[in-house]
Structure 1
Amino acid sequence: MSSLQHDPAFYQLLAESYTRLTGRLLVPATVPLHVAPRWLYEEAPFAVLAHNTAADPVFIYGNKAAQQRFGYSWDELVQLPSRQSAEAPNREARQQFLERVQRQGYEDGYSGVRITRAGQRFMIEEATLWQLLDAAGTLHGQAVIIPRTRDL
């Protein structure tokens, strides 16, 4: 798979599906479109992750803020089943959240415990998860924006 880090088409899927479902912009309007994919990956002050539609979804994208918070490099992250971002006892609540998003298109205000590669637990707060739907309505996975986290 080619790298989605700065891919304009993948950025367009992320940004347009987010705006279509939430009515909000993923990247500030002050960021020019031609640099928006790089800004989201390199400079965004919030974490963004996306996983695919596999039966056991695998992350396909995680910006630098997400990599730093979860403790994975790009190459490690894009091989990780997304369920492994939560400890086993928290996976059922996470799965219920994912299913609500499948039904509703997106959900705001989610908080939940996650785990770093090194096993450190932390809380994600005020997260928004949305369906990665292209303009034709084809589902490509789900993505999340995590504006805030705190150590536990």
Structure 2
Amino acid sequence: MLTSEIIQHSLLLVTSFEKATGKQLIPLSANSTETAETLYAAPFVLVSHGTEADPVFNYANLTAQQLWELDWKNFIKMPSRLSAEKISQAERQAMLEEARKNGYISNYQGVRISSTGRRFIIKNAILWNIYDEQDIYCGQAATFAQWEFL
């Protein structure tokens, strides 16, 4: 499951989070595969999307997959806007723009919807911009550990 591309992206998520927020998402291991495995199995949600005009998820850890009731294959081809109900998409877009301008936002909450229609509210989410080693914008990521089904 963990390809070299996923391992590299996992490291980018961890380092860009620290660069944006000044906090650690998880401690970096000397072994990059171990870091990627820890992130994938973490008890918090971690998702990211790319820079497409209609951004598509390019990462979802196991907790995110379980919450949205999607496997990896289906999650990473889904436009990220579909993670929110249509009524919540404008609010979600405003939050993405705010993070894009400011580098990150914290304490976000909003309603999301799983692939089977289960609604839940995410709480205390952090959203940040992903930049690579050359400081090129690569998309955005979000993490949260609190949610409640509605």
With the shorter chain as reference, the TM-score category is: over 0.9
- CA, structure 1 residues 11+84, in 2 after alignment: closer, same or farther (shift >3 Å)? same
In 1, Cα distance between the equivalents of 2:3 and 2:126? 21
Instruction: Please tell me the root mean square deviation across aligned C-alpha atoms, in Å.
Output: 1.7
Aligned with 2:62 (options 61, 64, 84): 64
Aligned-partner residue type, residue 98 of structure 1: L
In the alignment, does 2:134 pair up with 1:146? no
After TM superposition, the structure 1 stretch with the greater mean CA deviation from structure 2, 75-84 or 8-17, is 8-17
Match of 2:12?
13
1:124-148 Cα distance to aligned partner (Å, 9 max, x none): 0000000011132101110001111
- CA, structure 1 residues 84+109, in 2 after alignment: closer, same or farther (shift >3 Å)? same
In 2, Cα distance between the equivalents of 1:45 and 1:33? 21
Identity %: 36
Per the TM alignment, residue 5 of structure 1 is displaced from its structure 2 partner at its CA by 8.5
Match of 1:115?
113
1:52-96 Cα distance to aligned partner (Å, 9 max, x none): 000000000000000000110000101100000001000000000
Alignment of 1:125-140 (within 5 A): 125-140=123-138
Match of 1:55?
53
- CA, structure 1 residues 81+4, in 2 after alignment: closer, same or farther (shift >3 Å)? farther
Does the 8 A contact of 2:11 with 2:35 survive in 1? no
In 2, Cα distance between the equivalents of 1:132 and 1:58? 14
Match of 1:38?
37
Does the 8 A contact of 2:132 with 2:138 survive in 1? yes
Could you list the structure 1 runs, at least 4 aligned residues long, displaced by more than 2 angstroms after superposition. 2-8
What secondary structure sits across from 1:80 in the alignment?
A: coil
- CA, structure 1 residues 95+4, in 2 after alignment: closer, same or farther (shift >3 Å)? farther
User: What is the number of equivalent residue pairs in this alignment?
Assistant: 148
Match of 1:75?
73
List alignment gaps of at least 5 residues for structure 2: none
In 2, Cα distance between the equivalents of 1:16 and 1:99? 21
Aligned-partner residue type, residue 148 of structure 2: R
- TM-score, normalisation: structure 2: 0.93
